Amino acid sequence: MSTRGPSRPQRPRPDTSHLSAQAQARIRAMREIDWDASDEAFAAAGRPGTGDHGQGDHGHDGDRDNLTDVPGGVRLQKVLAAAGVGSRRYCEELIGAGRVQVDGQTVRRFGARVDPETQLIRVDGKRIPARQDVVYLAFNKPAKVLTAMSDDRGRATITDFLGDRGERLFHVGRLDYDTEGLMLLTNDGELAHRLAHPSYEVAKTYIAEVPGPVPKSLGQTLARGVELDDGMAVADKFRVIAQSGARAQVEITLHEGRKHIVRRLLAEVGHPVSRLVRTDVGPVRLGRLRPGATRDLTTKEIGELYAAVGL
């Protein structure tokens, strides 16, 4: 009569195809005994001296990394899971498949220990937010809110919508007082600086309400560039979303952030803006986020922001 308890729900298992037959057999036996076998046990299953003829964690001496484990560090798959990459089991699969790099070195050991505070960790070449003290938020700024954390004239500011958050957050770039829409907030100073710097040319997309009708040739005019008081302004993309009679709604994308650039550009071509909403900053989209609300950026969004500014 079996003495085993109720069966546990089936979970995705890490890919072990890169291990030798002996190592795979040991891991299968471990899973039959305890689905939640420790990471050290997994690492030991393919370690030299455990019957795998010195082939290491992944069955080939040439594949073993030279990364030194950090004393007292955190297991790599736990760091990945905490960063939102996926479940611990899925993160083990990523490691086993050679898709994870630490400080530029591919790591395949399930039990590798790292320091998320100081080491650079990437999945599929994209950096992940491993530090637990760093915050990345999307904020839907309402109109008549100042892009600042305080105001001596008593006007509403971003801080009024953040509740009791204890972090010192930076707003990435600015939206003018009457403009609505997506802003990024973070305490990652280097990322915030690069995203706001014009040399990185991070694209930003807006929806504007303007007088209609809008001629079909306007997109070509904006793409060629329009001379403003402080130099040429060029739209990367432009399209008419809708128009009826004397009103139109257009979408425009630019990769620069000069003051009031969208309003000045559209006014210069005869279509002054009555309402302006920013919908995208690089890979991050406003989506259904309600005015005045915030949300955490996803790991994918953060990784793509890092990549956009060369981090």
Interatomic CA distance for residues 257 and 234, integer angstroms: 11
What tokens were used for 262? 């969208």
Please confirm, yes or no, whether 133 is among the known catalytic residues. no
Interatomic CA distance for residues 281 and 305, integer angstroms: 9
* Closest of 218, 237, 233, 229 to residue 265, by C-alpha: 233
Residue 288 neighbours by CB under 8 Å, 6+ apart:
none
Q: How many CB atoms lie within 10 A of CB 192?
A: 20
Residue labelled with tokens 């004393």: 71
Interatomic CA distance for residues 44 and 47, integer angstroms: 5
Residue labelled with tokens 């139109």: 248
CA distances from 226 to 199, 223, 262 (A): 20, 8, 11
Interatomic CA distance for residues 50 and 65, integer angstroms: 19
What tokens were used for 269? 């071509």
Catalytic annotation, pick one of 65, 115, 176, 236: 176
What tokens were used for 43? 């690492």
CA distances from 45 to 23, 52, 57, 110 (A): 5, 8, 7, 10
- Which residues carry out catalysis? 176
